[in-house]
Amino acid sequence: MTPAARLAAAIDLLDAILAGAPAERVLTNWGRSNRFAGSGDRAAVRDLVFDALRCRGSFAALGGGLTGRGLMLGLCRAEGRDPEALFTGLGHAPAPLAAAEKAHLAAPAPAPEELRASDWPNWLLPQLRTDLGADFAPVSARMQARAPVFLRVNTAKTTRDAAQAALAAEGIETAPHPLAATALEVSSGARKLSKSHAYETGLVELQDAASQAMLALMPLAPGARVLDYCAGGGGKALALAAACPEAKITAHDIDAARMRDIAPRAKRAGARITLAQPGQVTGTFDLVLVDAPCSGSGTWRRAPEAKWALTPARLAELTALQGEILARAAGFVAPGGRLCYMTCSLLAVENEAQVAAFTAQGLWHSLRALRLTPCEGGDGFFGAVLARV
Ligand SMILES: C[S@@+](CC[C@H](N)C(=O)[O-])C[C@H]1O[C@@H](n2cnc3c(N)ncnc32)[C@H](O)[C@@H]1O
């Protein structure tokens, strides 16, 4: 496919997504019904679609409208590509520019800070400005770019240097990342990863560097009993198992289906993780981790659709749920144990305010907390370690 044909495909897909269809489904269906498109084409079209969802506000403003075509015109303008050379109507290229489009593209663009702000949901802007303070502008700029691909080295099986060498031998170039001693940032060859020997034999796992940095917060003694109360696909449980192979780790989630990948992932990693059925946790634990359901605002570079789907009502539901889960999970902490609360959110209402509300009852206090934003390289993340008063 030519670059112009890829733009034309992305325009159609974005129109379907803007009409309410989920991006992943739209992309999968397009791949199935356009078998001529090779893996390079599919990846390029996917990147165009996700770039446009991430920068939806600014591309629409630059391109002249919130439509697939407006977004792709905005992308061309943001990247300094000449739309007239691509929108030619020849072959599979998008139709040539109309007079009104030419006039819009020739008019001065809004100021960069106005464009960056428009890539957040408008209703959330006051909250974000308050919560991020001086970090608002740099975080907004980071959130417009694609997230890096990070790996966690499974230190139960190998070292970071050895994992890096094994990956390089398979054409996957990486560099150590300062956020965590286990983190490697992939600089090329990311698409080879899932079929690589290093990945299949559990030397590395996909995990954001900020997520890895959060694990350093957690007190882990050999033999500790650990409960990952909101385990999902087991990212945190697996990292805990790698950091402390002697720990006795139990994974739990309200939705058993979400935990279905834990067994194969643990097998690959050589980790032992016990699964608890929803609501069937028994006993007490030295460490209880609550990686709470949240807005995911710290991960919106990777999941930009979620950014536009969040509503004030959903955020209120999530914060209420976070408080309930924290209170329930606290009941599983053994005397002298620790409760660790985490989110991948940038919003204080899900982070500091949640910890403040929990500790205000006077039964628990916060020992330490860590807040990371994409300015440190990884996703936005928050973690706090709590102990009984
Ligand atoms: C942020 S995700 C967990 C991600 C996971 N820890 C990881 O690292 O891959 C939050 C999880 O909380 C689960 N959850 C939601 N409500 C819950 C509840 N009341 N009790 C336990 N888990 C819950 C969701 O099903 C979801 O899998």
Does the fold of domain 218-388 match that of domain 149-207? no
Q: Looking at residue 35, what is its pLDDT?
A: 85
Angstrom distances, CA of residue 88 to CA of 5, 13, 14, 84, 96? 10, 19, 20, 6, 5
Q: Which residues pair with 384 in a beta bridge?
A: 341, 369
Segment 177-189, tens digit of pLDDT: 999 999 999 999 9
Q: Is 293 in the pocket of ligand 1 (CB under 6 A)?
A: yes
Q: How far is CA 152 from the centre of its chain?
A: 15
Phi and psi for 87 in degrees, rounded to 5? -90, 75
Q: Is 258 in the pocket of ligand 1 (CB under 6 A)?
A: yes
Q: Is 253 in the pocket of ligand 1 (CB under 6 A)?
A: yes
Segment 76-112, tens digit of pLDDT: 999 999 999 999 999 999 999 999 999 999 999 999 9
Catalytic-role residue among 55, 230, 344, 375: 344
Q: Looking at residue 157, what is its pLDDT?
A: 95
Residue 230 a catalytic site member: no
Domain spans, the chain = 3-119, 149-207, 218-388
Reply yes or no on whether the pLDDT at 308 is more than 90. Answer: yes
Reply yes or no on whether the pLDDT at 219 is more than 90. Answer: no
Q: Looking at residue 158, what is its pLDDT?
A: 97
Take atom 7 of ligand 1 and give the residue whose Cα is closest: 235
Cα 379 from Cα 145, distance rounded (Å): 12
The ligand 1 atom nearest the CA atom of 259? 27
Q: Is 254 in the pocket of ligand 1 (CB under 6 A)?
A: yes
Strands 364-372 and 381-388: antiparallel
Segment 22-54, tens digit of pLDDT: 999 999 999 999 888 898 999 999 999 999 999
Cα 6 from Cα 253, distance rounded (Å): 40
Instruction: Report the predicted TM-score, pTM, of the whole model to 2 decimal places.
Output: 0.94
Q: What is the mean pLDDT of residues 14-24?
A: 97
Tell me the CATH class for 218-388. alpha beta
Residues placed in the known binding site for S-adenosyl-L-methionine: 253, 291
Reply yes or no on whether the pLDDT at 286 is more than 90. Answer: yes
Q: Looking at residue 36, what is its pLDDT?
A: 87
Take atom 27 of ligand 1 and give the residue whose Cα is closest: 232
Q: Looking at residue 216, what is its pLDDT?
A: 87
C-alpha 359 to ligand 1 mean position (Å): 22
Question: How buried is 125 (Cβ within 10 angstroms: 0-12 exposed, 13-18 middle, 19+ buried)?
Answer: middle
**What's at 348, amino acid-wise?**
A
Q: Looking at residue 365, what is its pLDDT?
A: 98
Element (H, E) at 27: helix 23-33
Contact 229, 284 (CB under 8 A): no
Q: Is 61 in the pocket of ligand 1 (CB under 6 A)?
A: no
Q: Looking at residue 225, what is its pLDDT?
A: 97
Contact 205, 154 (CB under 8 A): yes
Mean pLDDT (the chain, rounded):
97
Token pair, residue 310, equals: 């969040």
Segment 129-185, tens digit of pLDDT: 999 999 999 999 999 999 999 999 999 999 999 999 999 999 999 999 999 999 999
**What's at 174, amino acid-wise?**
T
Segment 1-13, tens digit of pLDDT: 999 999 999 999 9
Q: Could you tell me the end-to-end alpha-carbon distance of the chain, in angstroms, rounded to an integer?
A: 63
Phi and psi for 309 in degrees, rounded to 5? -90, -20
* 281 SS3 class: coil
Q: Looking at residue 93, what is its pLDDT?
A: 97
* Global ipTM: 0.99
Share of the chain above pLDDT 70, in %: 100
Reply yes or no on whether the pLDDT at 234 is more than 90. Answer: yes
Token pair, residue 218, equals: 């957690």
Q: 149-207 in CATH: which number?
A: 3.30.70.1170
Token pair, residue 8, equals: 């034309």
C-alpha 105 to ligand 1 mean position (Å): 45
Take atom 18 of ligand 1 and give the residue whose Cα is closest: 254
Q: Ligand 1 pocket test: pick from 253, 290, 294, 319 the residue with the most ligand atoms within 8 Å of its Cβ.
A: 253
